[in-house]
Structure 1
Amino acid sequence: MERLKIYGWAADHGGCGNYRIGLPMWALEKAGHDALAFSSSGFQIPTDLDVLVGQRIATPDQAARWHELAVDPARFFAMVYEVDDDVWSLHPSNPAYEFWQGPARQIAIDSIRVADAVSVSTDHLAEVVSAYNSNVVVLPNCVDAAVLTQTRPLTERLTIGWAGGTSHNDDFASVQKELKSYFRRNGAVEAHFIGTNHGPDIGRPAARYTGWMANLVDYLGGLDFDIGIAPLAHNAFNRSKSDLKFLEYASLGIPVVASDFGPYEATVEHGVTGMLARYPHEWAKHLTQLVNDDDLRHEIGSNARTWAATRTIQGNIWRWEAAYNTILGRSWTESAVAPSPGTLVPSSAGAAIET
């Protein structure tokens, strides 16, 4: 295996920056490469750089640097544009909608066009992006293997939870009526919301609420749900979404009730690794099944965790190695040694993204 020098230019220090830049760069470093994640546009290009990955280049300042590098006739490294959402199909309720309706929309397209390749998280998103650049590679969202051995906090009362920011308000609204009805009839079941407090929306103004945590260690450590929900509104944007919410729950052994749509219909095996709700009444039906049957809840959670073991960054970092070597036009063989699990520390969860 030829050692690569890779720079990952993250768009943020939140979930997207962590999962799409911070974690892969950390794993590449552990696999023997020279990899660095950062978020500042003031970086210097080392003389031995092989690959520059730029995440969601969409502002004038970012684009100026990106295009300056791309058109330089003396450029000696590959440039990969990274995006994990169909930002051109955002729902109006999404806080980023106005931003992507402005200049950012075309800036992103132009930046994709001058890149040597584009990396995305799903097949459907690859189809969308291929309209602007034909060289697209799918690199799935992954988790640190250490999460699979993590014990989630115990709760005093059986808890149904949801973790999602304001960008998912439309998703939650799609099942709000059904959840409100369910929680009205099941007072002994606790609700816990992380990121956005939907307690008042379901008639539980005193529901447990935890603010959003950008650090993955803190965030995953706070998922104390006995059952997790993953609703998705039926729209074009969500067709390109990844199964990350299911993956997070599954990695902690949390059984999920998810919308039978988009990434979940292809990933969740109904009744085995989770429950899929196709029709509105099925949300209450599946939640009731899991709440009332401890054995089923534990069995599905265990099956989901077994599945999640196939989606660790340690077990999949070869995909990044293969992609970057292919983009560089080099032959490639898989690393003999994968990075070890058990290292879920701030350096693997976003703090590796330098400012």
Structure 2
Amino acid sequence: MRPLKVFAWAKDHHGCGNYRMGLPVWALNRAGHDALAFSVLNVDLPSDLDVLVGQIVAGQTQTEFWQSQARRADRSFAMVYEIDDDVWNLDMTNPSHRAFAGDVGEQVRANIEVADAVTVTTDYLAERIRPINPNVFVTPNCFDASLLTHERPRAEKLTVGWAGGSSHQHDFLAVAKDLHAFFKRNPQVDTHFIGVNHGDKIGRPGSRFSPWRSNLVEYMHSVDFDLGIAPLAYHAFNRSKSDLKFLEYSSLGIPVVASDFGPYSESIIHGVTGLKVKHPHEWARHLRALSNDSAMRDELGRNAKSWAAIRTIQANVWRWEDAYYATLGLPTGDGGASQSADAAQSSAAAESADAAQSSAAAESADAAQPALV
């Protein structure tokens, strides 16, 4: 298969921009392609471009450019729309709700319609998109293999933690009462939030807090949890979400307690790779069980890391390659059959020196676009 020339526009330099654009572009370059992530959509496109990728293209200026490129009579490159959220079902508490209301939501739909293909994170989101554009490819969120050999820092006290963005306010409100009950009865357990501090919602306004770091490796290296929590409210928007929190925690060997809903229902094997909460009182029960049993924490953490090994970007870059080749009408590869989890893990140490570059390409992305982390 010949190398591809790919231009990818990242809508931000936060979680979505890095995971969905910066990291795949980095991996595509390592695989021998000529790929670039950039911050301005209406750039001068090279004549030998193969694929133009646009992440949640919306807004008047961006939409005008996207639509004009789609109408070009001389266009020889494929246009791929990247979206990782159901922007038409945002909860009212989500900061992006107002940004995607009305005309913007319609712009997203119109821009998906004229694309040659769409990439999404989950099968459920793919089903949401296919009525708009039937040519959809699922490219799941992945992480850099170097994290599999990273020794995470350890806090002085047993720590329950969470990392993520402001879109999860509704999720925390849904479980705040139950988490508050656990921490009230277990004051010896510490809490650490990264990205947004939800400590006040669970009776811990003095929780340790670390700001978001745009470089994915630096961000993941700041995680020092012994236990990770992943609350997800029962809402239509969350059905399309990916299992990213579980994936992040698992890559570091951190056991997770997560809502038995959406992506976590499918990804987590209860009692093997994590614990799932079906009923509200189980938050306290599961956190108490893991807090009191270090052997159980270690076992679930090891199992989760073994599961995560199949989701490295190194072992999955073929998914992006196949999506782009198929959209161009070119033969695809062997579906990554030669990429095993063992191979990905064994090469992780050698690649760790390069890993810090994996998200740098998207760091200057357009801050005017609404963030959906």
TM bin (shorter chain): over 0.9
> Partner letter of residue 349 of structure 1?
S
The SS at the match of 1:299 is: helix
Residue 44 in 1 paired to residue 44 in 2? yes
In structure 2, the CA distance between the partners of 1:250 and 1:109, relative to structure 1 (3 Å rule), is: same
Summarize the alignment of residues 22-41 of structure 1 with structure 2, pairs less than 5 Å apart.
Answer: 22-41=22-41
> 1:90 maps to which residue?
90
Residue number in structure 2 paired with 1:345: 355
**Does the 8 Å contact 2:13/2:364 carry over to 1?**
no
Q: Is residue 11–residue 17 contact of structure 1 (8 Å, CA) maintained in 2?
A: yes
Which whole-Å deviations, capped at 9, do the CAs of 1:152-206 have from their partners, x for residues lacking one? 1111000000112221000111110001000000011001111222222222222
Q: Is the 8 A contact 1:325 1:332 kept in 2?
A: yes
Deviation of the 1:36 alpha carbon? 0.8
Which moved further from structure 2: 340-349 or 237-246?
340-349
Return the alpha-carbon distance in structure 1 between the equivalents of residues 134 and 363 of structure 2: 29
* 2:216 is equivalent to residue 185 of structure 1: no
The answer as to whether partners of 2:192 and 2:207 remain within 8 angstroms in 1 is yes
Structure 1 residue 354: Cα displacement: 5.7
Deviations 1:90-144 (A, max 9, x none): 0000000001113210110000000001110001101111121111111100001
Query: Are the aligned partners of 1:37 and 1:354 in contact in 2 as well (CA < 8 Å)?
Result: no
Deviations 1:20-65 (A, max 9, x none): 0110011011001111111212422111111111100011111111
After superposition, where does 1:94-133 map in structure 2 within 5 Å?
A: 94-133=94-133
Aligned to 2:59: 59
The residue type paired with residue 277 of structure 2 is A
Residue pairs, 1:184-263, within 5 angstroms:
184-263=184-263
Stretch deviating more after TM superposition (334-343 or 132-141): 334-343
Q: Which residue of 2 aligns with 1:276?
A: 276
Q: CA deviation at 1:347?
A: 1.6
Mapped to 2, the partners of 1:228 and 1:354 lie a distance apart of 30
Alignment match, 1:285 = 285
Structure 2 residue matching 1:99: 3-state secondary structure = coil
RMSD over equivalenced CA pairs, Å: 1.6
Range 99-108 or range 213-222, more displaced: 213-222
Q: Secondary structure at the match of 1:137?
A: strand
Q: Secondary structure at the match of 1:28?
A: helix
Which blocks of at least 5 consecutive residues in structure 1 are unaligned? none
Q: Who is 2:371 aligned against?
A: none
Match of 1:317 in 2: 317
Equivalence map 1:14-25=2 (5 Å): 14-25=14-25
2:357 aligned counterpart, secondary structure: helix
Alpha carbons 2:146, 2:355 under 8 Å: kept = no
* CA deviation after TM superposition for structure 1 residue 318, in Å: 0.8
Q: Percent identity?
A: 55
**Residues 13 and 362 of structure 2 are in contact (CA less than 8 Å); yes or no, is this contact kept in structure 1?**
no
Structure 2 length-normalised TM:
0.92
SS in structure 1 opposite 2:27? Answer: helix
**Offset, 1:353:** 5.2
Q: Secondary structure in 2 aligned to 1:7? A: strand
> Which amino acid in structure 1 is aligned with residue 288 of structure 2?
T
What is the CA deviation profile of residues 268-324 of structure 1, one whole-angstrom value per residue up to 9, with x for unaligned ones?
A: 010111000010011111111111110110010011011110000000111111111
* Equivalent AA in structure 2 for residue 4 of structure 1: L
| Aligned residues of 1:17 and 1:350 also touching (Cα < 8 A) | no
Question: 1:60-80: per-residue Cα shift (whole Å, max 9, x none)?
Answer: 111111111110010000000
Q: Matches of residues 297-316 of structure 1 in structure 2 within 5 Å?
A: 297-316=297-316
Contact residue 83 and residue 119 of structure 1 kept, 8 A: yes
What CA distance in whole angstroms lies between the structure 2 residues aligned with 1:263 and 1:97?
A: 21
Between 39-48 and 108-117, the greater mean CA deviation after superposition: 39-48
Change (3 A) 1:73 1:4: same
Instruction: Read off the aligned partner of 2:55 and give its amino acid letter.
Output: Q
The 8 Å contact of residues 193 and 208 in structure 1, kept in 2 or not, is answered as yes
Residue 47 of structure 1 aligns to a residue whose secondary structure is coil
8 Å contact 1:148–1:251 — kept in the other structure? yes
CA deviation after TM superposition for structure 1 residue 213, in Å? 2.1
Query: Which residue of 2 is the match for residue 10 of structure 1?
Result: 10
The Cα of 1:351 is off from its aligned counterpart by: 3.8
Q: Distance in 2 between matches of 1:199 and 1:92?
A: 21
> 3-state DSSP class of the match of 2:7?
strand
Preserved CA contact (<8 Å) 2:21 2:362: no
Alpha carbons 1:194, 1:211 under 8 Å: kept: yes
**Is the CA contact 1:26–1:352 (under 8 Å) kept in the aligned structure 2?**
no
